[in-house]
Structure 1
Amino acid sequence: MTVVTTTDVRLANLLKVYASLRAKSPMTKRQLAQEVELTFASVSSICNQLVDLGLVRYVDESIFTGGRKAMAVSFASEFAYSLVLDMHHTDYIAMALVDLSNSIVKSRKAVVPEELTLESLMDCIRQCYLALVTDCTGKLYCVSVGVSAVYNEQSQILLQASNPLLERVNLAMHLHTVFPDLPILIENDANLAAFSQLDPLKPGKRDQLFVFFTQGIGLGLIIDGQLYRGSHGFAGELGHLKLTGVDRTCSKCGNVGCMRTVVPLTSIARDLGEIDILRRSGSLAYCDHLLMRANQEPEVVQRIDYTAQKIGEVLAELFDILNPEQIILGGNNWKLYPLMGNTIRQTCRRLSNLAREVDIQIQFVSEPINDLIFKGAGEKAFRYFIESCVPELPLVSF
């Protein structure tokens, strides 16, 4: 039986007030008391404590209530920063400083060396970090990393990594050689994409799926407002889901009919004989190229529509099995969503059994992958921040 002490209750109330200020700052103490359903005296005491810690501040621009000035409390987003590291791509890394409000303050990319080793990769990360924080001042509280791989939290080992160099590697151990004094948080890129869509203004239990398209296909599952990873971190690996009517052999696993053989941009480019164009131009420019061709070439429209149909088939199965409030799609193919959206929705609703009872809410996110991972990694970092007894984490100046 778990024993809840007075200290536990006080800490829970402090975190509730702090999280509410992050979502809706600035507020008066009275507004805040109504928001968190605590007494005015309790909220006032907590605010004073948070001010002493430097986590919030009383602002001069007072909020007026009924003609009488009332001191407002504002969230101090610059109190500390997380360093977020996007390692989803095999050709480059991306890095950003993210404040406690989950705003990207500064970001940078770096091309990884051609003759890549773990040592040269760590050196690339180190140099990117030093360039990123040039002319910046502040304190870091953690490094939050997104990878295109399965992360086993128990063993801390990466599995099924898109970058073969990271396969069966304890990435956190290597990153500690670059950031020896900071906690290292590692998460699958699709899970971080799901985190990026959690709305701090609407906290609470939610059920949503984020289908994430990169070099592979991942699925971030949010159940009752919490990320679901499965017993060993394998939950949501969609790339090798078998599709009907597909007889292609998967180059990664050797099986036939995997989703990754027909759905990602790489499969579209390969079918159109344009894999070199995709590699040379990158995902966003290649999507623009496809849209331009689609205006004049029916076979290009048919190939994109085929991808949309297969996505719709998978979404119908996911909806019937998990019955989420919302299904969200995002990734490197987002510029094609205006062309694919109707087919995806219609196919999903036609094939889903539950669609006869409730409407399927499908949302398309038009946002670059790096930004999604930055936002998701920042949100994961903030949750770690408040769950680790604010603000007792070590802070490292940069």
Structure 2
Amino acid sequence: MRKTTAEAQPAPSNAPGNVGDVRKANLARVLAVIAGAHSEHRLSRADIATRSKLTKASVSSLVADLLESGLIIEIGVHRDGERGRPSVGLILNPARCVIGMEINVDYISAGLVDLSGKLLTHQIVPRLNRAVNAEQVIDALSELSSQMQQAAEAQDLKILGGGLAVPGLVDEKSYTVLQAPNLGWEAQTLDVRKLLSETKTRFRLFNEANASALAQQQLMEPAERDFLFVSGEVGIGGGLIIDAELFAGPQGHAGELGHVVVQPEGKSCSCGGRGCLETVAGQEAILTAANLGVAARGVSRQQRIERLYQALESGQEPANIAVADAGKSLGVAVASAMRLFNVSTVVFGGHFAALERWLLPATTSSLRTYAPSIAGQAKLRFSPLGQTGALIGAAHSVVGDLLESPHQLVG
């Protein structure tokens, strides 16, 4: 989602397009001004006319359309120091939202995000999805989506669209997961109509790491327009933000940090390669190296992860060595990415964030060893979003579509 700014720039006087195109653009300009206002600053129609550089008459007409669409509402506002009848302010409608969803290796999740980007509610359901038919997983997610839709209805919220994030390469246009090695999926077209059939805006499909990067972007300072987001789950993904925009490459597959080779003679990877970062720093790789592999039957991955934290807290050597090795390899991969993309800020999410205390020293040391010329400028951060990042990012991007193209809901 592109960042919304409080000040909208006027279109060039020689811009092409018919009257309908101009009105669509002006609807977006007015909505951008409203969305960009501080949460405590309710703009009047006159305020919007000043900021958008449109006439008061035009703004009144455009606001009427936006009110009818349900994207904004009127609210009474007292100006500081004024008495008497309050003026009428305009804000994004808090009763409109978008549903975000995620499919990962061992869970599915869904949540509601309002037009300001706030996560209203969410639910994470443990579920083993590896090597399970995509249709079955979509059916399970459909049930969770239905629960979210019922929750929205109970709170008088209207869902305007939806987004889904998956841990793999995707073709958004055809809703196809091209390759998701950790799910065991290849060329799987998803029937997203089961997830949200009643909507006037399109449903969007995302790579999980890209969606998480978009969610993290909303937490960054305005000056931080370039960063690499590293997502750590069973697999490892990367999302690259350049000049405040997601950079996914010509075919949308940029950022596959988990499959950067860090040990050329290392273990075989699910992608078919060898020595990938994922084979050392992926969740399963760390658990196995810490002697917490899949040997114990009836023990879930979450239970093994909890045992890993306990082992780290008590200073058990296998666990500490496993995380240190992961941090070292992570530093190697991140050093290469920082040089390649010319970014200095790296944000770690997923299980990397949970392992910050033990992971950061090894990663920092690795950067100093293998990339001393850039280690001093490196800003390593850890995301607070946890398992909600991907669904928030997917939903937030659809919110961005609505704010940039409100004509979809007008008329």
Instruction: Compute the TM-score of the two structures, normalised by the length of structure 2.
Output: 0.80
The answer (yes or no) to whether the contact 1:278–1:286 under 8 Å persists in 2 is no
Structure 1 residues 167-178: aligned runs within 5 Å: 167-171=186-190, 174-177=191-194
Residue equivalent to 1:268 = 286
Contact 1:308-1:340 within 8 A present in 2 as well: yes
1:258 maps to a residue whose letter is: C
Corresponding position of 1:19: 32
For residue 230 of structure 1, report the CA deviation from its aligned partner.
1.6
Per-residue deviation, residues 347-396 of structure 1 (Å, max 9, x unmatched):
3255336527x722221113322x111211111111222344444289xx
The alpha carbon displacement at 1:219 in A equals 0.6
Which of 42, 46, 50 matches 2:66? 50
> How big is the shift at 1:310?
1.5
Aligned equivalents of 1:65 and 1:44: distance in 2?
24
* Secondary structure of the corresponding residue to residue 77 of structure 1: coil
Q: How far is the alpha carbon of 1:259 from its aligned partner?
A: 0.9
Structure-to-structure mapping, 1:358-377, within 5 angstroms: 359-369=377-387, 371-377=388-394
Q: Could you say what the CA RMSD is over the residues aligned between the two structures, in angstroms?
A: 3.4
Task: Calculate percent identity across the aligned residue pairs.
Answer: 23
Q: CA–CA distance in 2 between the matches of 1:12 and 1:120?
A: 42
What is the CA–CA distance in structure 1 between the aligned matches of 2:393 and 2:297, rounded to whole Å? Answer: 26
Give the equivalent residue in structure 2 for 1:382: 399
SS at the partner of 1:64? coil
Residue of 125, 129, 134 corresponding to 2:145:
129
2:374 alignment partner AA: A
Structure 1 residue ranges without an equivalent (≥5)? none
- Report the residue type matching 2:24 in the other structure: L
* Correspondence for 2:118 among 64, 78, 103: 103
- The structure-2 alpha-carbon separation of the partners of 1:198 and 1:6, relative to structure 1 and needing over 3 Å to count, comes to farther
Give me the whole-angstrom Cα distance separating, in 2, the residues matched to 1:380 and 1:74.
19
Output one character per residue of 1:131-164: Cα deviation in whole Å (capped at 9) or x when no partner: 3333541433222100011013465432221455
Structure 2: give runs of 5+ residues left out of the alignment.
1-13
TM-score, length basis structure 1: 0.83
Range moving further from structure 2, 259-268 or 5-14: 5-14
Please show how residues 310-329 of structure 1 align to structure 2 within 5 Å. Answer: 310-324=329-343, 326-329=345-348
CA contact (8 A) 1:28 1:63 kept: no
Give the CA deviation at 1:87: 0.7
SS of the residue aligned with 1:383? helix
Report the counterpart of residue 347 of structure 1 in structure 2: 366
The separation in 2 between residues aligned to 1:163 and 1:317, in whole angstroms, is: 24
Give distance in 1, aligned partners of 2:278 and 2:95: 41
Q: Which residue of 1 aligns with 2:103?
A: 87
Secondary structure of the residue that 1:296 maps to in structure 2?
Answer: coil
Instruction: Render the CA deviation track for 1:267-314: whole Å, top value 9, x for unaligned.
Output: 11111221236983435x545433332333244323212211211222
Cα distance in 2, alignment partners of residues 201 and 239 from structure 1: 23
Which residue in the other structure is 2:177 paired with?
158
